[in-house]
Chains A and B, each alone.
Chain A
Amino acid sequence: MASVCFYFQVHQPFRLRRYSVFDTDTNYFDDYKNAQICRKVAHKCYLPANRLMLDLIHKYEGRFKISYSLTGIIIEQLQAYAPEVLSTFHALAQTGCVEFLCETYYHSLSFLYSRQEFADQIRMHRNLIRDTFGQEPAVFRNTELIYHNDLAHFVKEMGFNGVLCEGADHILGYRSPNFIYHPPGVRSLKLLLKNYRLSDDIAFRFSNQDWAEWPLTAPKFANWVSAVNGNGHTVNLFMDYETLGEHQWEDTGIFEFLRHLPNEIFRHPDNNFKTPSEVIESYDAVGEIDAPHMVSWADIERDLSAWLGNAMQSNALHELYQMEKMVKQTGDPDIIRDWRKLQTSDHFYYMCTKWFADGDVHKYFNPYDSPYDSYINFMNVMDNLRSRCKQTAATLV
């Protein structure tokens, strides 16, 4: 039996506007650019992809299944800038073939710095998904699939029964990502590991003409999936939703590939599609995954270095979370919301100097010319936010 488990990440940050040290107003975010990018991605990716998914679900009468994780801030932006996208997500939610996962509302790295804030944002997101799509999320995915043994324990306590994480070689060893595992000491929580080879074949290599397997066709890919039969239960294909139409443009044939994929998958009678919750329901854990170090799905290192690789990134993050108490004590919803929007991991990703000279995926949707500019901008905003907190605290006394 081989189940294909699709999960798509849907997320856009609130990008900051150019904020100089001489600026004193509290409009930190670039509404114009955020609206522009949101609408662009909606038209190139979200709308056509959602329509395609709806078509496939109807065509296969409920046998084609997928899952999404929409961050709180993409839902806010879609409401404001592209409400038509949100209605197609509603339609998807009503098919019964689509599962919505839970994550931190602000796509934050709060797990690394503040468990209180982490829990708050999970609750916020869970409520949002319940209110928006009428589903109670049961499976958790952390920002950028950042995972650690402690995370498993923590989200178990919060009532989840499954977690998505990267099928990184250094936690799997010789083992296959195509089975279900459990964290050390927690048998009731199940781990779904990303099959990064097959996922990246679609997400990164699909249009790469230097790749030996190019062009990737639906029958070819379905054969690779079917080969898992007999030595695996599930093929977890986890990727950014923007893969469809943005990272891989429409003219690469990515939509046609997806349109034909279910039919090819179904050619093998043992294959099917399952949502993460169904996978957890259907299969037992075959072993234990020990992750004493942080794992993520980013870059080849699959660690935290994309957000915490240099002194600027760790400084910005530390200072941001150092403000937590001060921010929350103000009780000012605007201040708290701004502080949380600053937690979005993208801000720190822009500060990455790892691949700066080469230029690659880090540049995508990146509003800055250099990581230094992004750090300077971020610190200026944070300075202003800090002074707002102090002002409010002064008036409270």
Chain B
Amino acid sequence: MKVLMLGWEFPPFISGGLGTACYGLTRAMSRLGTQITFVLPRPVTSQYASHVKMAGPSASGKISASELFESGEFSNVEFRTIDSLIQPYQTDLSYDELLRQMGKSLGLKEDAIKELLIASKLGLSANYGENLYQEVQRYARLATLIARTEHFDVIHAHDWMTYPAGIAISAMTGKPLIVHIHSTEFDRSGEHVNQMVYDIERQGMHYATKVIAVSHLTKNIVVNRYAVSPDKVKVVYNAVERNGSFMDATQMAIKKHEKIVLFLGRITMQKGPEYFLAAAKKVLEVMDDVKFVMAGSGDMVRRTIEMAAEMGIGHKVLFTGFLHGDDVDKIFRMADLFVMPSVSEPFGLVPLEALRNDVPVIISKQSGVAEVLTHALKVDFWDINEIANKIIAVLRHPPLSTTLKEHGNFEVRKLNWDNSARQCLEIYSSTMQPAPV
């Protein structure tokens, strides 16, 4: 089985759960002997680019996984990168920022960069630049070129930016297209959907032979909002990497005087940061020795900081910005509790990582991960009283925390990527069997 996989992020170039999911899934598939070519739009600049051996920025650099990862676990994966500006969860602002950085790296003067920005603004739609649309199309064109040089049985496209590429390649080669929904426009934007993105998503889902949704929650959105036949949509849950890392004594919880309640994720409407703050305020009315840490970047950071100040709890809420690798582990070791008050969360990998790190979790009922976790506290994201009630309970009653950790950690071990990979392989096979006459 050979798979052409179209993705948009991959560690270390990640800004959210999608890259982590692609990493886990491809690694498990590789272990199961599946050949994968992973096509990736590489961001132009990244402070992490120097940490890995990336081949030169040619339009279709070919890198085998062994050059990137030491483990040898990716022996069957080959990466193809396209120099593109596409980044996941993109907004105008970050696109501009990228343009600016690209301009600087090219040695352009400030005036020239400004011109570039103004030019790119012409004909903008509400949220996404025309340029972003062009980037998606450019990715599609280049991915199609790459596809010509590859042999594969199925095309597996992750999220909307890769769908035009997937459709083009499928049309060209006649190979079945499978689209994998990690999030939909309704999750990201609520009811204010971007029509262009919606159209691309819908087109991809309808063109695809099979649709993979990361939860039943997402499947329902796909069926109800995109009018896809339920038979065509399969649910494959995400999982969590088993590093098998038993923490040694030196890595045990960091000593501290105060309890720490953690929010970790993009600080954006979808993740419900304002509900986290509102609950924090409620908790602080009853308890004093608590700090609330908000780790992540996003378009609502500034507003969230202001909101904390307005509520008069600014001194109790810390913002760390986006955390990488070791810092994530460190913040988990410091945390007494992880809270995910997402308004809409197709799956939600972070709670699994928290539990793997022995941190109990409160998750919103409006999340896919709530379908697979039983040993988690579940709340409606809008019910700030209940969120606060549960935060206080975990912080006050150690036996609650202990029981959640013990059972949760055990439960997370049962969620492994090999199962998810196997389910994907079954779905591949089903698309290749001739329909019964």
Residue numbers of A with Cβ under 8 A of B are 20-22, 310-312, 314-315, 353, 356-357, 369-370, 372-373, 375-376, 379-380
Contacts and interface: CB of A to CB of B under 8 A. Distances in A.
A357 B400 CA distance: 17
A372 B385 contact: no
Task: Identify the 9 closest CB pairs spanning chains A and B, nearest first.
Answer: A311-B399, A315-B399, A376-B393, A20-B389, A311-B402, A312-B399, A21-B389, A21-B392, A310-B403
A380 B397 contact: no
A288 to B, nearest CB: 38
Given A353-B407, A369-B378, A370-B374, A20 B400 contact: no
Q: Tell me the interface secondary structure of chain B in the complex.
A: helix
Contacts of A372: 375, 377, 400, 403-404
A390 to B, nearest CB: 17
B386 interface: yes
Interface of B: 282, 286, 374-375, 377-378, 385-386, 388-390, 392-393, 396-400, 402-404, 407, 411
A2 to B, nearest CB: 46
B374 A20 contact: no
Nearest to B401: A311
Nearest to B391: A21
A32 to B, nearest CB: 20
A270 B310 CA distance: 84
Nearest to B365: A369
Contact of A370 (B378, B396, B411): B378
7 contacts: A21-B388, A353-B403, A372-B375, A375-B399, A376-B377, A379-B397, A379-B400
Contact of B393 (A353, A357, A379): A379
Given A353-B407, A369-B378, A370-B378, A21 B393 contact: yes
A73 to B, nearest CB: 26
Contacts of B411: 357
Nearest to A318: B399
Contacts of B286: 21-22
Contacts of B388: 21-22
A306 to B, nearest CB: 15
Residue of A310, A357, A373, A376 with most partner-chain B CB within 10 A: A376
Nearest to A19: B389
A369 B404 CA distance: 15
A315 B403 CA distance: 11
Contacts of A311: 398-399, 402-403
A375 B286 CA distance: 19
A310 B399 CA distance: 8
Contacts of A380: 389, 393
A22 B404 contact: no
Contact of A376 (B374, B375, B389, B407): B389
A314 B393 contact: no
Contacts of A369: 378
